[in-house]
Amino acid sequence: MRTGPPRTHAQSSALVAAAAALAAVAVLALPQPAGAAESSPIGFGAGTTGGGSAPAVTVSTLDAFRSAVSGDTAKVIRVNGLIPLSGQVDIGSNTTVVGVGSASGFTGGGLRLKEVSNVVVRNLNISKPVAPADGITVQKSTKVWIDHNSFSADREHDKDHYDGLLDINHGSDDVTVSWNTFKDHFKGSLVGHSDNNASEDTGHLKVTYHHNLFSNVYSRIPSLRFGTGHFYNNYVSGADTACHSRMGAQMLVENNVFRSTKIAVTTNRSSDVDGFANLRGNDLGGAATEVSRVGTFTNPPYGYTAEPASSVVASVTSGAGTGKL
């Protein structure tokens, strides 16, 4: 029971206002629920804005899409429906491409980001990219955010029938790959296309992968040559070889979960020069590791929060893929 003189009306009002302010601060301080869509990329791709606040244009045919994504002026393109492709469509700089709903996107081919910058690709279904087309190719490009997409193919064909789901090459830089699903494929995500491309790739190919699901993808999760890769809070299930660091690449593999996977991390396969890797906080689930050279990349040059491996499966399975924006 309160003792002393009664509070004045002004004092009571001030106390109520102060309590409300504290409550508001407390709410703002609460972390976002796992899988809540970020409004901007975390990682090496930070600062990528795409078309920003440019007026959105909705397209539902291939011709309309090709026209809408060309050029380097700021633009936001909404893809409504599933559009068949043969080969790839080139995307201009300063572009956001986003799918409408959970089932819009492309099948049979993919998108190419060549010699461009500041591109966002979100909420697209990209399936069965018949070789030589990748689902998405990032080539000689910078500032790219690949977020909340669903990539898939099948394992019923020869391993070379489809090309990569997401390949990043030719000195590309500052890329974040977040909250995507990659399913039913042989060759997931190749970063650095060749052992013979050191002159172009050394010092580049800086890529962050976080909160992605790789399910029944045989290898290249990712395969990284020459570059610097941060692979954290991903869920890998059903792989033969997952993270592959080669040709002097530096990879930090942090707080991921591996299930039904033969080799979680390797640095000494397929290339003449080994890569480097640092591992911390992972749940390997019985998977082996082959780390011939421990790397020096331990502190990424950006702010991020890696959740513990114990919560990754729940976060990724509920939050990754299309329809979650």
Residues belonging to the active site: 220
Q: What is the DSSP string of 89-150?
A: EE--SSEEEEESTTS-EEEEEEEEEES-EEEEEES-EEE--BTT--SEEEES-EEEEEES-E
Rounded Cα distance between 201 and 195, Å, is 10
C-alpha closest to that of 217 among 235, 238, 232, 231: 238
For residue 23, the SS3 value is helix
**Both tokens of residue 1?**
């029971």
59 membership: H or E segment, kind and range: strand 56-59
